[in-house]
């Protein structure tokens, strides 16, 4: 056994240090734009315009202008946009998780004629770009009279999502069939097996779907752009674009608003990181 001062343990420490340093270097291309955004949020407009380029020295503001953050929130009705965004996130997360779980359980555990064909057809829909279906879907929602409301952004989530259905189907297949069989022998119906046995075991996978959907709705710009025409219904992503259109020259305020917009996503990822990794690792295949 290696002692605390043994060469093997010291070598492992140096190896771990080298690995962490290499990972930090590899992460720089992704971290640098975020650092530039935060740095610009703390600069005055004159300092931003006089910057020669992006360098390590230019990332440090000469004088931190913390007032950019409250000023940006005064220009942007952040509270209204945040409320609208969180409302959409809550509805879509609930709709996608519930509908996708029901459909995925049917594909994973209920055998019916043509199940393989319909599952393959559903997976094939993932190959269709959104630009292909954008015009007919917009025409359909406009014909239904949903234009200008949140219905086009929320109702489709209750019809399931091919990606989440596939993810949950793979997870449900890993749940031992013996658990369901023992429940059926005790008189449990299929819905009871689904809600009382399978769903409690699928919490990591469900949390992963909820996290993906939350991030997608939070960052969604195209949906509000197509269907929302009332400024009181704007979301954060669309509202940030409107701020850029009106005050594009105020780079300090724009980056301050972008930093506030990004911060909740970063905090959510770190808080849910363990659940996210666990959900991904348990949906890779069948045991």
- d(CA 180, CA 192) in angstroms, rounded, equals 10
Domain presence at residue 8: no
Residues sharing a CB contact under 8 Å with residue 181, sequence separation 6 or more, in sequence order? none
Residues 140 and 167 both lie in one domain: yes
Domain end among 22, 43, 66: 66
Residues 44 and 142 both lie in one domain: no
Residues 80 and 40 both lie in one domain: no
Q: Could you tell me the two tokens for 65?
A: 């202008």
Residues 147 and 238 both lie in one domain: yes
Question: pTM for the full model?
Answer: 0.81
Domain presence at residue 5: no
Question: Residue 171, Cβ neighbours under 10 Å: how many?
Answer: 26
Sequential pLDDT tens for the chain (287 residues): 455 555 555 558 788 888 888 888 888 888 888 888 888 888 887 777 776 555 566 677 777 778 888 888 887 788 889 899 999 999 999 999 999 999 999 898 888 888 888 999 988 888 888 888 899 999 999 999 999 999 999 999 999 889 999 999 988 888 888 888 888 887 778 888 888 888 888 888 898 899 889 989 999 999 999 999 888 899 988 888 887 777 667 788 888 888 888 888 888 877 777 766 665 555 544 44
Domain presence at residue 127: yes
| CATH number reported for the structural domain that contains residue 140 in this entry | 1.10.3720.10
Residues 52 and 189 both lie in one domain: no
Domain presence at residue 264: yes
Domain presence at residue 26: no
Q: Give the pLDDT of residue 50.
A: 73
Q: Give the pLDDT of residue 282.
A: 56
Residues 143 and 227 both lie in one domain: yes
Range of the domain at 47: 35-66
Q: Could you tell me the two tokens for 97?
A: 């998780």
Residues 183 and 52 both lie in one domain: no
Q: Give the pLDDT of residue 279.
A: 56
Domain presence at residue 114: yes
Q: Give the pLDDT of residue 86.
A: 93
Q: Give the pLDDT of residue 88.
A: 95
Domain presence at residue 253: yes
Q: How many domains does the chain have?
A: 2
């Amino acid at each position: 056994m290696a002692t605390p001062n043994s060469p093997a343990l010291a070598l492992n420490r140096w190896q771990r240090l080298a690995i962490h340093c290499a990972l930090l270097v590899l992460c720089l291309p992704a971290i640098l734009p975020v650092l530039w955004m935060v740095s610009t949020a703390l600069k005055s407009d004159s300092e931003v315009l006089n910057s020669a380029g992006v360098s390590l020295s230019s990332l440090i503001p000469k004088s931190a202008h913390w007032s950019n953050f409250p000023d940006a929130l005064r220009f942007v009705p952040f509270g209204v946009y945040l409320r609208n965004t969180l409302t959409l996130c809550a509805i879509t997360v609930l709709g996608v998780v519930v509908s996708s779980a029901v459909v995925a359980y049917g594909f994973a555990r209920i055998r019916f004629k043509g199940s393989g064909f319909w599952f393959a057809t559903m997976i094939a829909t993932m190959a269709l770009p959104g630009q292909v279906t954008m015009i007919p879907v917009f025409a359909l929602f406009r014909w239904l009279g949903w234009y200008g409301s949140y219905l086009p952004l929320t109702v489709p989530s209750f019809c399931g999502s091919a990606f989440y259905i596939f993810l949950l189907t793979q997870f449900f297949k890993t749940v031992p069939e013996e658990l369901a069989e023992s429940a059926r022998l005790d008189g449990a119906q299929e819905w009871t097996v689904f809600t009382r046995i399978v769903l409690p075991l699928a919490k990591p996978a469900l949390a992963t779907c909820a996290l993906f959907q939350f991030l997608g709705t939070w960052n969604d710009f195209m949906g509000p752009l197509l269907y929302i025409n009332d400024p009181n219904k704007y979301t954060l992503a669309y509202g940030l674009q409107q701020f850029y259109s009106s005050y594009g020259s105020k780079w300090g305020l724009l980056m301050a608003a972008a930093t506030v917009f990004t911060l909740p996503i970063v905090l959510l990822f770190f808080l849910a990181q363990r659940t996210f990794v666990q959900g991904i690792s348990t949906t890779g295949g069948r045991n």
